[in-house]
Amino acid sequence: MTVQPPTPFPKMTKECVAFHRTELAVILSLYGRMVAAGEWRDYGISSLSEVAVFSVFRRTAEHPLYRIEKRPALRNRQGMYAVVGMDGQILKRGHDLKTVLRVLERKLIRAVD
Per-residue confidence (pLDDT) for residue 69, from 0 to 100: 92
Tallying the residues shown for the chain, one arrives at 113
Burial class of residue 73, CB neighbours in 10 A (0-12, 13-18, 19+): exposed
Q: For strands 66-70 and 90-94, give the pairing.
A: unpaired
Share of the chain above pLDDT 70, in %: 80
Per-residue confidence (pLDDT) for residue 37, from 0 to 100: 87
Q: What is the mean pLDDT of residues 10-22?
A: 75
What is the spatial order of strands in the sheet that 81-84 belongs to? 42-47, 52-57, 66-70, 81-84, 90-94
Q: Within 13 A of 107's CA, how many CA atoms are on the CB side?
A: 16
Name the residue ranges covered by the structural domains of the chain.
21-112
On average, the pLDDT of the chain sits at 83
